[in-house]
């Protein structure tokens, strides 16, 4: 699972590093820098979430959309 908010500059490398995963879940906090054009090439498991300062809420939202027994949560940077 990767949470994204305007991460276009680093997103391609990040996504290439996890392309081996059974599923890639993206939680996008309404990026406006072209991030969507990048991550949509790697997965269709894309969920939008409001921008907020409490990381746990965003994490829990994303986790609820993951289907595997194990979840790797990474930051794009």
pLDDT band at 77 (very low <50, low <70, confident <90, very high): confident
Are 24 and 42 in contact by the 8 Å Cβ rule? The answer is yes
CA torsion angle 40 41 43 47 (round to 10):
-10
pLDDT recorded at residue 60 = 95
Domain that holds residue 40: 2-63
Tens digit of each residue's pLDDT (9 = 90 or more) over 50-66? 998 888 999 999 999 99
In a domain, 10, yes or no: yes
In a domain, 29, yes or no: yes
In a domain, 73, yes or no: no
pLDDT recorded at residue 55 = 86
Tens digit of each residue's pLDDT (9 = 90 or more) over 21-39? 999 999 999 999 999 999 9
In a domain, 72, yes or no: no
Q: How many folded domains does the chain comprise?
A: 1
């Amino acid at each position: 699972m990767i949470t994204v908010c305007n991460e276009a500059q680093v997103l391609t490398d990040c996504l290439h590093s996890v392309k081996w995963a059974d599923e890639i879940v993206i939680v996008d906090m309404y990026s406006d820098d072209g991030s969507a054009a990048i991550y949509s090439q790697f997965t269709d498991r894309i969920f939008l979430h409001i921008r907020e300062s409490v990381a746990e809420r965003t994490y829990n939202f994303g986790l609820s959309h993951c289907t595997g027994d194990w979840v790797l949560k990474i930051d794009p940077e």
